[in-house]
Chains A and B, each alone.
Chain A
Amino acid sequence: MKIDLNTVDRLAHLARLEFDEATKGKMLDDMNRFLEFAEKLNELDIAEVEPLIYMNSDHNVLRKDEVMQVIDHEAALKNAPKRDSDFFRVPKVIDK
């Protein structure tokens, strides 16, 4: 199958990315080549095959549910691009 520029726009929005006109065309070409390449899998009869989803050898390895202080408030904010006292600062979300 082939996708078009509208699909690129839709996927870009889902992925929270933007492409200008120049890069959008290249992305479309690359994605179409990839899809053509991925179609190789259609040659196989897999109707009866169960999907392999988890690679873990043992399931649900759990540790004790104990309260731990891993990092403090200040450390959590240390890498914030913008902060305001005790909060992450972001542009205004709701317009009045």
Chain B
Amino acid sequence: MKQYTQLAEIQADLRAGSLRCEDLVRQYLAAIAARPEINAFLEVFEAEVIAQAQAQDAAIARGEWQLLTGLVLGIKDNIAYKGHVFSASSKILDGFESLFSATVVERLLAEGAMIIGRLNCDEFAMGSSNENSAFGRVLNPINTDYVPGGSSGGSAAAVAAGFCHASLGTDTGGSIRQPAAYCGLVGLKPSYGRISRHGIIAFGSSFDQVGPFAKSIEDVALLTQVMAGPDAYDTTCSTLEVGQYVPIATDKKYKFAVIKELLSGEGLDPELQAAFQQKVAQLKAAGHEIVEVSFPYLPYAIPTYYILATAEASSNLSRYSGVHYGYRSGNATDLESTYKKSRTEGFGEEVKRRIMMGTFVLSEGYYDAYYGRGQKVRRLLRDKSLEILQQTDAILTPTTTGTAFKFGEKSDDPIQMYLEDIFTVLANLTGLPAISVPFATHSNGMPLGIQLMGRPFAEAEIFALAKALQA
């Protein structure tokens, strides 16, 4: 099977008549069936995606082309697709079928995308290794001893394994960029408010964003272009005009900020540290400017994130009561035990831990000391980031502190797992757009990602900056 890096190559073959959408879809279906152990998909919409492909082939025969003709997409199972089961990888949504499609799904389908299935993830998008799914862990297709990252682990594994061309994930603290880095892909968390969240299961509403995974920056830019823009069903979605993301400008010289405190390499994998330094030197040699900046608040980012995100999660997840939809415990005898037993039996361990921590930081007597304090530190983090981005075009960091880790390595210690998010949470705390791009391979054979965080709504620039990294 021919491996395609870019949609443009698929569309070229479709135009030349050497490829049909149906053949392409059948190749992906065969690839999925050949490696069931990866467990990336919770459900493959086989008959439906074949029908979509046949309809696309008929459209092509009539000369009708759309922006995403030929693009086969997987969607994370916290993104609604009308008439399809929808679980967020949790038992608590047992039997739930979505009554409508997310705005992003409608926009992608309207541009010719074919949806091949729904993808496994950490339960309610809470996790960094995809070990928290109620439907089993996802393996990293590059080396199955390693985690694919999380929480959008299935989204990353599916594209890396060649099960689909691109996928959607969600990113609350790094859940697109970290798995993209672990699986050698490009992944974008757009600016807060750039893409509608109508139809996305809420986890941390001041953090959550939906975004694409693909093998190329071009395809990530194209998918962002199709999804971005105001939506009458999401009041947090910005009315700012969407820029032109494709084609990507590539001729400019940029100013990259590098955080001084990171240069010492403390806590970083030494090979990652060396590769990062080498990339910085390369950028300089190519005529870009590197500005060393101090970011003394960085160590406060993770505790701030976990205080605020667990608080929001405890509130958002209060809707799962066992009454109107999803799982209801058979052991319940009255209304209160319906709530308690349904939730206790329906939620997994990590979700319960976050609900409990969030309940604590919002509880009487502790609100100001934890939640209120977190909101203040959040402002410090945002102001400092914006200050740096006034003098530079982007903040450059590694995406993670090392390569993907092995299963079980961090799963006994939640705090150790949370520290995974050190470089990614800042973009969610500040609402800024950030992209992870693969930039090196470790001697253990696993890919490494580099991250760019840019100005609010500067997605077009982020893609151009990312291209400069790959040059």
Contact = CB atoms under 8 A, between A and B. Distances in A.
Contacts of A55: 192-193, 206-207, 236, 431
B99 interface: yes
B376 interface: yes
B353 A30 contact: yes
A11 B377 CA distance: 25
A73 interface: no
Given A30-B414, A93-B335, A53 B238 contact: no
A79 B363 contact: no
Contact of B382 (A34, A42, A52): A52
Size category of the B interface is 35 or more
Interface string B161-204: 00000000000000000000000000000011100000000000
A57 interface: yes
B324 A80 contact: yes
Interface string A9-51: 0011011111100010001001101110111111110100111
Contacts of A42: 373
A91 B332 contact: yes
B401 interface: no
A49 B237 contact: no
Given A53-B375, A82-B328, A75 B99 contact: yes
B327 interface: yes
Contact of B359 (A11, A70, A80): A11
B376 to A, nearest CB: 4
A31 B356 CA distance: 8
Contacts of B229: none
A23 to B, nearest CB: 8
Given A14-B363, A52-B378, A34 B306 contact: yes
25 contacts: A11-B360, A12-B356, A14-B359, A17-B340, A17-B352, A23-B349, A27-B353, A27-B356, A30-B353, A33-B414, A37-B303, A37-B306, A39-B303, A40-B300, A51-B378, A53-B375, A54-B206, A56-B238, A57-B191, A57-B240, A57-B456, A80-B325, A81-B322, A81-B323, A81-B326
Interface of B: 95-97, 99-100, 191-193, 206-207, 230, 232, 235-240, 297, 299-300, 302-304, 306-307, 314, 318, 321-328, 332-341, 343-344, 347, 349, 352-353, 355-357, 359-361, 363, 370, 372-380, 382, 414-415, 418, 431, 456-457
